[in-house]
Structure 1
Amino acid sequence: MERTLIVAEKPSQAREYAAALGVRGRGDGYLENEKYVITWCYGHLLELERPEAYMDLDRVGKRWSLNRLPVLPSLQAFRRVVKSGAAKQYEVIQNWLRSSDIGEIICGTDADREGQLLFQEVWDAAKCNKPLSRLWISSLTTAAIQEGLKSLRSAESVAGLAAAGNGRALADWDFGMNLTEGFTALFGSFDAVRKKPNVISIGRVQTPTLALIVEREWEIEGFVAQPFFEVRAEFSSANGEYLGKWFDPSEDSKRITDPQVAEKIVARTQGKPGRITKIEQKNVQEPAPLLFDLTSLTIAASKKYGFSAEKVLQLAQSLYEKKAITYPRTDCAYLSEDIVPKLPDHLKAVHQEPYSSLADEASLLGVPKGKRVINTITAHHAIIPTTEKVAIHKLNREEQNLYDLVVRRFLAVWFPPAQYHQTDVVTMIEGESFRTKGKVLLSLGWKKIYDPDDLEDEGVKKGKKKDKREQTEDENATLPPLSKGEEVQTKRVFSEEKSTKPPKRFTQGDLLKAMEGAGKQIDDEVLRQQLKGKGLGTVATRPAIMENLIDRGYILQDHKALKPTEKGVELIRLIKEKLPQAQLLISAEMTGQMEFDLSKVEKGELSIEQYMTEVEDAIRRIIKELRSFEQRHGKTPLALAPTAHPSTKGKGKEEPRARTARKKENKVRESAKKVDDNKVTNKSQVLALGNCPKCGAEVIEGQKGFGCSNWRQGCHFVLWKTPICGKVLTPNQVKSLLKKGKTPLIKGFKSKSGKSFSAYLIWEDQSEAKLKFEIETS
């Protein structure tokens, strides 16, 4: 009798299939009984051949060069070879696929695009034409496996998924292989410290992600703090004291930027009686947060436990293989309608300490059915505990922490919303308006699932009470009983100077949000679910992208903050300022559109041939541009990657060996910089822009800024070319600044909120080259 072959993604998955099907026989690289043979891959067993396999090396040479590019094999011409160390298992699978003992095949790899691709690679290599079906499950429990085998999908139903996986692999190869060689040939150099080439790695998703980090750094460097003033008042009513903050009723968000205006309000209202002119009171509900997808789980775990994105993915995969949680590589935060009858079984599985009493209470509240829980899903539903009870004590501490996050989020959706009594009070003094907000918790609802330290209730954050001044902005402040029309005493009015803050550097969690939103960091969880599909990479690949950027010397992780290195900054500046065609490489929107096009390939709405034609056209344009750059400027080495990374814990001491290496590197870098600067300076000597405010010598344009020509004698005056609210200074603007003390009116600045504005730039500290805005007044 012919048997059924199941191909799993890895040995652990194969063992779960065997346990569910009662398969106990063991062979070399497979498991078997009289009905089934179960074998496995180890992830991808095959890899695409390197570009040299498609080249005539006698003609183009072995050295990386633009003359060898582009290398763009047709879809049919791409070849895969067995990865090093995978030959034995590859042969096991091939033998079984071709065996006369096998009557049908089941693809049982992970139910996603990459899992489909790694099976498709070995299937295509075998040229097998036996009946093929697809096992599609969201957990490795026995019940889920047995149910999945009863409702197998046809091979045709996942053909688009296989095509999208292939399109992703081939596009990444085309971009990575061609452009990494092209950029390295033109902008790479020899790293004398590491004794190897300084490779300028380019990637379809990696490079726009680096651009997000670099552009955030430029925003921070170019940020000009704007002072503003807040006027606050302390009131005394018949029933107690409260505080208020001045606001303009005609423009609620208006800030006071003139200290004299603030002082006039203080003088006008100080000691004068107040009157409550408005009280709005309403009960509001706060629903439980959405269930976890991989991104939101990573953000939560990063915030609470400091886990990296790569660490969260590793732990989630381990919990999945231990049957503790459902499939983790999901971008969906909802459950499907057909899972509703099974939810009580999932709840029973978490009925153990420390969740027993919460699970008991949840079971009395009824199965959650609202649209925030049951909704349209993508390939896989949200991450929840499975229907099998897990021996929590057998999980390691990190696994327990991640499992706890998943369980509590799952329990939370069974509970009702938290309820608050919200109050909005307006107090008038001499025609000036002061607002006070208060919010009192009436019912914990879902918040009882969490420890108080994990929540921000009743004006308490992590156990620390806010001071009186902070409470004027705190909607959780508890107010005394107040009534409309009530006269109150003004105890004190005061003005406080504040300043706008620069944007913060990305953490890994913040960067995941920005990657998911194609450059836009979307915090609203429902909106985030609606805008999926056009992000940078996928939930499964984003953690590895961040690790690659660190490994390749483009960014550093300093505690939780991600900072670009000099190498990373120079690459993005080069593309942004000198290579217009290559700018698609740093466009989050463009890369997000490519990801969206892959989803269209998956749905059969776009052919893989059309997708690859667009990829190839883009690469040809960029290679042509690199050739043109080489003809005009020659080879232009970028900075080397740093030798030592900042410690992620504490300050960390630099070892003598690393210190020596750093000194060598700095010498190499300084030499390259002087050569590079001389190229620019020699061209710019005739373009003196004005006199240096520090020493009186000429100011000239360099590659990275407008600096004093007397720099060799120690004058450090320089106006950097880092963007200021999205605008980079031009030579004419610098000329005007040096001559008149202000630039011409510059239009198109972008505020932090994204609004455009026009302003002059004037000196804040001329000798230190510090600037500030002078806003245009009509």
Structure 2
Amino acid sequence: MATSTKSSSKKNLVAEHPKALIIAEKPSVANDIAKALGGFTKHDEYFENEAFLISSAVGHLLEIAAPEEYEVKRGKWSFVNLPVIPPHFDLRPIAKTESRLKVLQKLIKRKDVNRIINACDAGREGELIFRLITQHAKAQQKIERLWLQSMTPAAIREGFNKLRSDDELIPLADAARCRSEADWLVGINGTRAMTAFNSKSGGFFLTTVGRVQTPTLSIVVQREEQIRKFVSKDYWEVRAEFIAAAGIYEGRWINPDFKKDPADPDARENRLWSEAAAKSIVAACRGKKGSVSEESKPATQLAPQLFDLTSLQREANARFGFSAKNTLGLAQALYERHKVLTYPRTDARALPEDYLETVHKTIEQLGEHVPEYRQFSTAILKGDGKKSWIKPNKRIFDNSKISDHFAIIPTLEAPKNLSEPEQKLYDLVVRRFLAVFYPAAEYRVTTRITEVSGHQFKTEGRVLVEPGWLTVYGKSSQADDELVPVQKNESVQNETVELVALKTKPPARYSEATLLSAMESAGKWVDDEEMREAMAEKGLGTPATRAAIIEGLLAEKYIVREARELIPTAKAFQLMTLLRGLDVAELTQPDLTGTWEHKLALIEEGKLDRNTFMQEIAQMTQKIVKRAKEFNSDTIPGDYATLKTPCPHCGKSVKENYRRFACDSCGFTISKTPGGRAFEYEEVESLLKEKTIGPLQGFRSKMGRPFAAIIRLTEIPLDDADYPNAGFKLEFDFGNSGGEDEETVDFTGREALGVCPKCSGAIYEDGMRYVCEHNTGPAKTCDFKTGKVVLQQEVSAEQIKKLLKQGKTDLLTNFKSNRTGRGFKAYLALDPKGKIGFEFEAKAPAKKRAGDKNETDSGSKPKRASRSKAKSEE
């Protein structure tokens, strides 16, 4: 009876004190919400007070997956199992974060939780993270949405006063699910179909494609093809110097009748395509007098618009060389941890129309918090002496140009303890924010025409009259290109005239800044800023995903980054050749996939049905698989090269086709993709010349596991029936096996790299390894060796010398775990017994923040990471 009373009391307590469960996207946000609302007790994985429970995900906790009967196991990627278009999608916990998912499930099922507040990031991906969690937990409670543009305590409290209804966010949730499911369908089916096609002749040639990734790659490949096909043309300019009473100025010959011709992009008003014509102009003008006419007119230049994420990434890449991924990470930290910027994952460059008072306070605070911004803050607030420059302006304050989030601007918080890169990015945003409220910069632009012997020479000058917004960037009223003045009717004397021989240049390779612009406009390069903004809704990906797309292409070795240039690899060209040959336009024409992104935006706005979109994606998927499956020929048509290096067997030309490099004369042939890795032209040229190359990375076994190796061309015995008349065959060299039949290596004439830490013998480079001289042959007495490639990190001979002499290498940054696929940094280090292991960087002590408990004392020493055994990847 007592038990029954106790149970009844507990039920009544639950009924009387229901609570809302707040689910944030990250633990740091949950912590910020708890601090902003106040009165919480901290438990292991959540906060609690009388009204709320707060916990968080750690990004995505679940991933969509096909039902088990539709799943295709790795190693069985054949056309038999394609296409995979399941009637519905299941959810699968992500293993590394499953414990966090269980915490949230437990909280959702608590009897006293009667509503759930979605406090994940305000956007498509945040919505998806939350929806998948509640779907997996079968949550039945009422749902509300916390929509935050800023992470300041005041903004968080204001957000809770304006919670949005669940129904209001259904279109956004539909768009999020469509994006996820569409990417899954196209990625899984496209990747498996192209991998199956490329692996038909054996091996495993992983060929990843994606709904957004592959059209983005197409942009880069098309530009590289333009560069490769570009034929430079000679042209000439005629330049002259003229003496006026006030000084000397230069002019360039122009054709006054010139008109732009879209069919001839190289044509310019000052270019001459005939050297003889250029020489005749020089002869006609030398030493002659000229008459001058000029026109001066005022010109204004408005400050650039506020930043959205893509324009911020472009600017940071151009100014500081920051990658798009790095810029996003810095902006997210400035928003989330430091709380000095508003939400960064935005595609808007305007502010809400009711934001004038907030802007006024923000500029006021900037002047108080940061001395270097004070003069600009004061100028904006003072304005023309009667009214500040902060006023209604559709270029800055426009609700129609805002979807989920407004432009990136500073918050009311003072910046503290920013790293150097964070400070650079913060300053970039603040100065753009301040500049947009300043008046336009004013110039006086002068165009002068000097006519000599019937030929016209143009000279242009520009004087900055009023710097306006340029004041924020340190400019003052001064001449940029001020011309030497010429009096009315003054006759000038030609001092020198010369022709300059020049050549047209190919288009520039993409940098991350220019590729982001191209993605934003679906591959159509648009110089006009306003036009680019108008086309942004049909871009490739979203501002929040474009950085990840570029990083994915780098990770898959479709492109490489050299300085600031992005260069496509042979693997990229082979994929484009395949997709074009199969006529899969959806994955090769960026503007078509940009249309899909536009339709996702329409779903968000409630203007397009989710089912209609997914039917179109399913049809697209069917088409991709059908084209690959039904293509009968083993050769794909394409623009193939003839190698510079002759055939090593007969000396004739070696030509490329889709799958091989082959000599038509003698039958010599090698695969273009040995071990699933595509040869670069420079690599195969070197292999034909030197008969060996490597070590090279990126090869894959039949089961898809990565490995590294040296490749050799070895002569074929005359009686080898598998290679008639070919002379050479391609072989992988992994170094000596170390077995009983291993021959003793003769190291005579080779450079010793150091002393063996186990037996004091000499260490030498040998094939894919560094090995002790006493660790070869059947009579070996030492077991010391290490690979040239350790977990996909190439280890140079110089690093081995350091290891042997100093006990450890420099910090190496490109290790990749075989188990998780994650990259990590470490030193290779020797232990007292001469074994090689990893030594990790010591972590700096965590900084203690106000209000935090049980923090490590800032003066305590960090723990040293344990040393683990380093295994070479062979």
TM range (shorter): 0.7 to 0.9
- Render the CA deviation track for 1:311-344: whole Å, top value 9, x for unaligned: 1111111111120100000111111211111112
Give 1:364's match in structure 2, choosing from 382, 385, 396: 382
Higher gyration radius (CA): 2
Give 2:434's match in structure 1, choosing from 408, 411, 420: 411
* Structure 2 counterpart of 1:714: none
Deviation at 1:485, TM superposition (A): 3.3
Deviation at 1:53, TM superposition (A): 4.5
SS at match of 1:355: helix
TM-score (structure 1 length as normaliser)? 0.77
Give 2:85's match in structure 1, choosing from 72, 86, 92: 72
- Render the CA deviation track for 1:351-389: whole Å, top value 9, x for unaligned: 213322332223222215433322222211111101122
Does 1:318 find its partner at 2:333?
yes
Say if 1:84 and 1:402 are closer, same or farther in 2 by CA, change over 3 A: same
2:66–2:90 Cα contact (<8 Å) kept: no
Say if 1:368 and 1:240 are closer, same or farther in 2 by CA, change over 3 A: farther
C-alpha distance in structure 2 between counterparts of 1:638 and 1:33, whole Å? 64
* Structure 2 counterpart of 1:760: none
SS at match of 2:117: strand
Say if 1:390 and 1:642 are closer, same or farther in 2 by CA, change over 3 A: farther
TM-score (structure 2 length as normaliser)? 0.69
Give 1:488's match in structure 2, choosing from 469, 489, 492: 492
2:693–2:711 Cα contact (<8 Å) kept: no
Give 2:34's match in structure 1, choosing from 18, 27, 45: 18
More helix by share: 1
* Structure 1 counterpart of 2:662: none
* Structure 1 counterpart of 2:313: 298
Say if 1:499 and 1:670 are closer, same or farther in 2 by CA, change over 3 A: farther
Deviation at 1:230, TM superposition (A): 1.0
* Structure 1 counterpart of 2:129: 118
Say if 1:55 and 1:413 are closer, same or farther in 2 by CA, change over 3 A: closer
* Structure 2 counterpart of 1:250: 257
What letter corresponds to residue 568 of structure 2 in structure 1?
P
* Structure 2 counterpart of 1:522: 526
* Structure 2 counterpart of 1:385: 410
2:442–2:464 Cα contact (<8 Å) kept: yes
* Structure 1 counterpart of 2:357: 341
* Structure 2 counterpart of 1:143: 154
2:325–2:548 Cα contact (<8 Å) kept: yes
In structure 2, list runs of 5 or more residues that go unmatched.
1-16, 260-267, 637-657, 660-670, 683-691, 699-707, 717-721, 727-874
What letter corresponds to residue 242 of structure 1 in structure 2?
Y
- Render the CA deviation track for 1:738-773: whole Å, top value 9, x for unaligned: xxxxxxxxxxxxxxxxxxxxxxxxxxxxxxxxxxxx
- Render the CA deviation track for 1:494-518: whole Å, top value 9, x for unaligned: 1111111101111111111111110
Say if 1:381 and 1:668 are closer, same or farther in 2 by CA, change over 3 A: farther
* Structure 2 counterpart of 1:691: none
* Structure 2 counterpart of 1:444: 467
What letter corresponds to residue 552 of structure 2 in structure 1?
N
2:40–2:48 Cα contact (<8 Å) kept: yes
What letter corresponds to residue 364 of structure 2 in structure 1?
K
* 1:69-218 to 2 correspondences below 5 Å: 69-74=82-87, 77-188=88-199, 197-218=204-225
C-alpha distance in structure 1 between counterparts of 2:318 and 2:623, whole Å? 42
2:294–2:447 Cα contact (<8 Å) kept: yes
C-alpha distance in structure 2 between counterparts of 1:669 and 1:569, whole Å? 28
- Render the CA deviation track for 1:379-410: whole Å, top value 9, x for unaligned: 1111110112222xx11111111111111111
Deviation at 1:203, TM superposition (A): 0.6
1:290–1:525 Cα contact (<8 Å) kept: no
Q: Percent identity?
A: 38
Deviation at 1:157, TM superposition (A): 1.2
What letter corresponds to residue 511 of structure 1 in structure 2?
L
* Structure 2 counterpart of 1:600: 602
1:23–1:31 Cα contact (<8 Å) kept: no
C-alpha distance in structure 1 between counterparts of 2:509 and 2:149, whole Å? 36
- Render the CA deviation track for 1:29-64: whole Å, top value 9, x for unaligned: 21111011111111111111257642588xxx9611
What letter corresponds to residue 542 of structure 1 in structure 2?
R
Give 2:372's match in structure 1, choosing from 354, 358, 377: 354
SS at match of 1:496: strand
C-alpha distance in structure 2 between counterparts of 1:568 and 1:549, whole Å? 9
Deviation at 1:189, TM superposition (A): 8.2
Deviation at 1:600, TM superposition (A): 1.2
Give 1:622's match in structure 2, choosing from 614, 621, 624: 624
Say if 1:268 and 1:669 are closer, same or farther in 2 by CA, change over 3 A: farther
What letter corresponds to residue 450 of structure 1 in structure 2?
Y
1:51–1:71 Cα contact (<8 Å) kept: no
Say if 1:418 and 1:237 are closer, same or farther in 2 by CA, change over 3 A: same
2:298–2:445 Cα contact (<8 Å) kept: yes
Deviation at 1:200, TM superposition (A): 0.5
> Number of residues paired by the alignment?
633
Deviation at 1:166, TM superposition (A): 0.2
2:447–2:460 Cα contact (<8 Å) kept: yes
Give 1:220's match in structure 2, choosing from 211, 227, 244: 227
Moved more, 485-494 or 432-441: 485-494
C-alpha distance in structure 2 between counterparts of 1:62 and 1:188, whole Å? 11
C-alpha distance in structure 1 between counterparts of 2:276 and 2:282, whole Å? 10
C-alpha distance in structure 2 between counterparts of 1:62 and 1:260, whole Å? 66
* Structure 2 counterpart of 1:289: 304
Which is bigger in relative contact order (C-alpha 8 A, separation at least 6)?
A: 1
SS at match of 2:251: strand
Deviation at 1:617, TM superposition (A): 0.8
* 1:401-550 to 2 correspondences below 5 Å: 401-451=424-474, 476-550=480-554
Say if 1:599 and 1:669 are closer, same or farther in 2 by CA, change over 3 A: farther
SS at match of 1:284: strand
* Structure 2 counterpart of 1:374: 397
- Render the CA deviation track for 1:113-137: whole Å, top value 9, x for unaligned: 0100110111222333322221112
Say if 1:267 and 1:313 are closer, same or farther in 2 by CA, change over 3 A: same
Output the aligned Cα RMSD: 3.0
C-alpha distance in structure 2 between counterparts of 1:185 and 1:668, whole Å? 27
- Render the CA deviation track for 1:452-496: whole Å, top value 9, x for unaligned: 6xx9x978xxxxxxxxxxxxxxxx421122245332111122111
What letter corresponds to residue 297 of structure 2 in structure 1?
K
2:120–2:127 Cα contact (<8 Å) kept: yes
Moved more, 267-276 or 82-91: 82-91
C-alpha distance in structure 2 between counterparts of 1:55 and 1:556, whole Å? 33
Deviation at 1:422, TM superposition (A): 0.9
Deviation at 1:665, TM superposition (A): 5.7
C-alpha distance in structure 1 between counterparts of 2:514 and 2:712, whole Å? 35
Moved more, 170-179 or 103-112: 103-112
Shift >6 Å, 4+ stretches? 668-671
C-alpha distance in structure 1 between counterparts of 2:632 and 2:169, whole Å? 45
SS at match of 1:138: coil
* 1:657-676 to 2 correspondences below 5 Å: 659=695, 664=709, 666-667=711-712
What letter corresponds to residue 402 of structure 2 in structure 1?
I
In structure 1, list runs of 5 or more residues that go unmatched.
460-475, 647-655, 680-778
Deviation at 1:86, TM superposition (A): 2.3
Moved more, 216-225 or 406-415: 406-415
C-alpha distance in structure 2 between counterparts of 1:628 and 1:266, whole Å? 64
C-alpha distance in structure 1 between counterparts of 2:361 and 2:288, whole Å? 65
Say if 1:190 and 1:564 are closer, same or farther in 2 by CA, change over 3 A: farther
Deviation at 1:154, TM superposition (A): 1.4
What letter corresponds to residue 480 of structure 1 in structure 2?
V
1:330–1:382 Cα contact (<8 Å) kept: yes
SS at match of 1:221: helix
